[in-house]
């Protein structure tokens, strides 16, 4: 890799302050900030950030996966996978990149720069992954965790609290089969309101004992609500 000039080092010094991490090898950070359009324009042998992007994607996956398993041990594998996919995606990663103003530190080709490349979500997300990969190479996984996990945890918590990422019926079925060697049963006990705005009341039972009750605009939604209450009654929903 080409040595980093003193002027360039001064340019990217504020980014290191934002990250609260000083690179032992500044060339790694500079490479992570070098888009292929710049490399192709300046010098085709110049290293750009795509390989670090590949590495950083795996680093972020590991950080998120480890945190999810430690904090949300009662969630099913499918739910954990959905949350991870929602956090480690272009939209979220671009948002993280904007929070640390990553765009202004990028080296872009003239055309890419003129077309607004510094705020393109795809470029920002890729650069964020590349910086994660570079930091991992420079300081290891523990350093990467200290820098990136605080950013990731807020998004993880928001998604983990969202019903759209929980399959409470599956969670409760898994728990019931493990603890009681049986499958929960669901029953509609009431239908409220007119046909165009009906609300269903569902109870869930284990061995003929009602464990939870839920309401919803559909039977499926009411069953999910009942399963959630059942999980809460058994104290199986983790505190966030």
Fold type of domain 6-165: Ribonuclease iii, N-terminal Endonuclease Domain; Chain A (1.10.1520)
What contacts 24+ positions apart, CB below 8 Å, involve 73-80? 73/238, 74/171, 74/175, 74/231, 74/236, 74/237, 74/238, 75/160, 75/166, 75/171, 75/238, 76/167, 76/170, 76/171, 76/174, 78/167, 78/170, 79/165, 79/166, 79/167, 79/170, 79/171
| C-alpha–C-alpha distance, residues 75 and 69, integer Å | 8
Same topology for domains 6-165 and 168-233, yes or no?
no
| C-alpha–C-alpha distance, residues 1 and 121, integer Å | 27
Residue 238 has pLDDT above 80, yes or no: no
Question: Was domain 168-233 assigned CATH 3.40.50.300?
Answer: no
Least trusted range by pLDDT, from 63-67, 85-89, 143-147, 162-166: 162-166
CA torsion, points 138, 126, 155, 60, in degrees to nearest 10?
-40
Residue 31 has pLDDT above 80, yes or no: yes
129 included as an active-site residue: yes
Nearest to 202 by CA among 186, 183, 178, 218: 186
Tell me how crowded residue 3 is: count the other CB atoms within 10 A of its CB.
Answer: 10
- The one catalytic residue among 53, 57, 112, 223: 57
Tell me how crowded residue 200 is: count the other CB atoms within 10 A of its CB.
Answer: 22
Question: For position 67, what pLDDT does the model report?
Answer: 95
Identify the three-state secondary structure at position 80.
helix
- The one catalytic residue among 53, 112, 129, 171: 129
pTM listed for this prediction: 0.70
7 included as an active-site residue: no
Determine the average pLDDT of the residues in 57-72: 95
Domain residue limits, the chain: 6-165, 168-233
Identify the three-state secondary structure at position 140.
helix
Tokens of 182: 């049986």
Share of the chain above pLDDT 90, in %: 68
Nearest to 226 by CA among 181, 182, 191, 187: 187
Determine the average pLDDT of the residues in 75-100: 89
Q: How far is CA 145 from the centre of its chain?
A: 14
Model pLDDT for residues 167-195, shown as the tens digit of each residue? 788 889 988 999 999 999 999 999 998 88
């Amino acid at each position: 890799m080409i040595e980093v000039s003193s002027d360039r080092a001064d340019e990217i010094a504020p980014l290191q302050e934002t990250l609260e991490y000083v690179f032992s090898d500044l060339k790694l950070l500079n490479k992570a900030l070098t888009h292929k359009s710049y490399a192709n324009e300046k010098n085709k042998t110049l290293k750009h950030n795509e390989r670090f992007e590949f590495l950083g994607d795996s680093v972020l996956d590991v950080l998120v996966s480890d945190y999810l398993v430690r904090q949300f041990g009662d969630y099913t594998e499918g739910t954990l996978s959905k949350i991870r996919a929602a956090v480690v995606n272009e939209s979220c990663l671009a948002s993280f990149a904007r929070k640390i103003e990553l765009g202004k530190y990028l080296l872009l080709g003239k055309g890419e720069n003129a077309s607004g490349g510094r705020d393109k979500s795809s470029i920002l997300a890729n650069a964020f992954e590349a910086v994660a990969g570079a930091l991992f190479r420079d300081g290891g996984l523990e350093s990467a965790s200290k820098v990136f996990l605080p950013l990731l945890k807020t998004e993880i918590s928001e998604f983990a609290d969202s019903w759209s990422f929980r399959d409470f019926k599956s969670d409760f079925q898994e728990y019931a089969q493990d603890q009681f060697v049986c499958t929960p049963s669901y029953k509609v006990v009431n239908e409220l309101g007119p046909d165009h705005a009906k609300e269903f009341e569902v109870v869930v039972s284990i061995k003929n004992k009602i464990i939870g009750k839920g309401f919803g605009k559909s039977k499926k939604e009411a069953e999910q609500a009942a399963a959630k209450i059942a999980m809460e009654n058994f104290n199986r929903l983790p505190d966030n």
